[in-house]
Structure 1
Amino acid sequence: MTSSVPATDAHAANTRRVGLALAATGAVLFSAKAILAKFQYRHGIDALDVLALRMLLSLPLFVALGVRESLRPGHARITRRDFGRILVLGVLGYYLSSLFDFWGLEYVPVSLERLILFLNPTFVLLIGVFAFKRKVARREWVALAVSYAGVAFVFVENLRVQGDHVLFGSALVLLAALSYALYLSMSGQLISRIGSLRLVALAMCVSTAATLLHYVIARDPTRLLHLSPEVYGLAAINAVFCTFLPVTFTMGAVARLGAGTAAQLSVLGPVSLVFLGAWLLGEAITPIQLIGTAVVLGGVLLLTRPGANSVPVAPPR
Structure 2
Amino acid sequence: MKIVLSKTQIGSLCALFSAFLFSSKAIFIKQAYALSDEVNATVLMALRMGSALPFFLIIAWYFKQQRQQPLCYRDIALLVMAGLLGYYFASWLDFVGLMYISASLERIILFLYPTLTVLASSVIYKQRIRLKTSVAILLSYGGTVIVLLQEQNHAPLQSNFWLGTSLVFASAVAFACYLLLTPKLIRTFGPSNFTGLALSIACIGTLVHYFLATPHAIHLLITLPAGVWLYGIGLGIFVTVLPTFLLMQSIARLGAGQSAMIAAIGPILTILLAVLFLNEHLNAWQWLGCVLNISGILMISLSKKPLKH
Contact 1:58/1:239, CA 8 A, preserved across alignment: yes
Q: Deviation of residue 99 (structure 1)?
A: 0.3
TM-score, structure 1 as length reference? 0.85
Of 182, 185, 188 in structure 2, the residue corresponding to residue 190 of structure 1 is 185
Contact 2:21/2:243, CA 8 A, preserved across alignment: yes
CA distance in 2, matches of 1:85, 1:74: 15
Q: Deviation of residue 84 (structure 1)?
A: 0.7
Q: Deviation of residue 54 (structure 1)?
A: 0.4
Q: What's the counterpart of residue 139 of structure 1?
A: 132
Q: What's the counterpart of residue 238 of structure 1?
A: 235
Q: Deviation of residue 297 (structure 1)?
A: 1.4
List gaps (5 residues or longer) in structure 1.
1-13, 313-317
Of 15, 28, 34 in structure 2, the residue corresponding to residue 36 of structure 1 is 28
- Shift of the 244–39 alpha-carbon distance from structure 1 to 2, 3 Å rule, reads same
List gaps (5 residues or longer) in structure 2.
1-5
Residues 1:26 and 2:26 are matched in the alignment: no
- Shift of the 133–85 alpha-carbon distance from structure 1 to 2, 3 Å rule, reads same
Q: Deviation of residue 262 (structure 1)?
A: 5.5
Contact 1:200/1:248, CA 8 A, preserved across alignment: no
**More relative contact order, 1 or 2 (CA 8 Å, 6+ apart):** 2
Could you tell me which amino acid in structure 2 is paired with residue 221 of structure 1? A
**Residues 239-266 of structure 1: CA deviation (Å, up to 9, x unaligned):** 11110122334456667645x7665554
Q: Deviation of residue 282 (structure 1)?
A: 0.9
CA distance in 2, matches of 1:98, 1:113: 12
CA distance in 1, matches of 2:152, 2:284: 15
CA distance in 2, matches of 1:291, 1:249: 30
Contact 2:11/2:250, CA 8 A, preserved across alignment: yes
Residues 1:221 and 2:214 are matched in the alignment: no
- Shift of the 85–265 alpha-carbon distance from structure 1 to 2, 3 Å rule, reads farther
- Shift of the 309–248 alpha-carbon distance from structure 1 to 2, 3 Å rule, reads farther
CA distance in 2, matches of 1:166, 1:107: 6
**Residues 18-77 of structure 1: CA deviation (Å, up to 9, x unaligned):** 76655444333222111100111112111111111000000000111111112x366333
Q: Write the mapping of 1:102-181 to structure 2, written as runs, cut at 5 A.
A: 102-163=95-156, 165-181=160-176
Answer with 296-305 or 194-203: which moved more. 296-305
Of 87, 96, 103 in structure 2, the residue corresponding to residue 94 of structure 1 is 87
Contact 1:185/1:310, CA 8 A, preserved across alignment: no
Contact 2:86/2:178, CA 8 A, preserved across alignment: yes
Q: Deviation of residue 310 (structure 1)?
A: 3.8
Q: What's the counterpart of residue 48 of structure 2?
A: 54
Could you tell me which amino acid in structure 1 is paired with residue 95 of structure 2? F
CA distance in 1, matches of 2:300, 2:210: 39
TM-score, structure 2 as length reference? 0.87
Q: What's the counterpart of residue 206 of structure 1?
A: 201
Could you tell me which amino acid in structure 1 is paired with residue 198 of structure 2? A
Contact 2:101/2:165, CA 8 A, preserved across alignment: yes
Could you tell me which amino acid in structure 1 is paired with residue 28 of structure 2? L
3-state SS in 1 of match to 2:101: coil
- Shift of the 261–88 alpha-carbon distance from structure 1 to 2, 3 Å rule, reads farther
Contact 2:67/2:188, CA 8 A, preserved across alignment: no
CA distance in 1, matches of 2:181, 2:245: 16
CA distance in 2, matches of 1:249, 1:136: 32
CA distance in 1, matches of 2:181, 2:7: 22
CA distance in 2, matches of 1:108, 1:155: 10
CA distance in 2, matches of 1:290, 1:308: 30
3-state SS in 1 of match to 2:281: coil
3-state SS in 1 of match to 2:129: coil
CA distance in 2, matches of 1:177, 1:128: 15
Answer with 16-25 or 175-184: which moved more. 16-25
Q: CA RMSD in A?
A: 2.4
Q: What's the counterpart of residue 304 of structure 1?
A: 301
Q: What's the counterpart of residue 289 of structure 1?
A: 286
Would you say how many aligned residue pairs link Structure 1 and Structure 2? Answer: 297
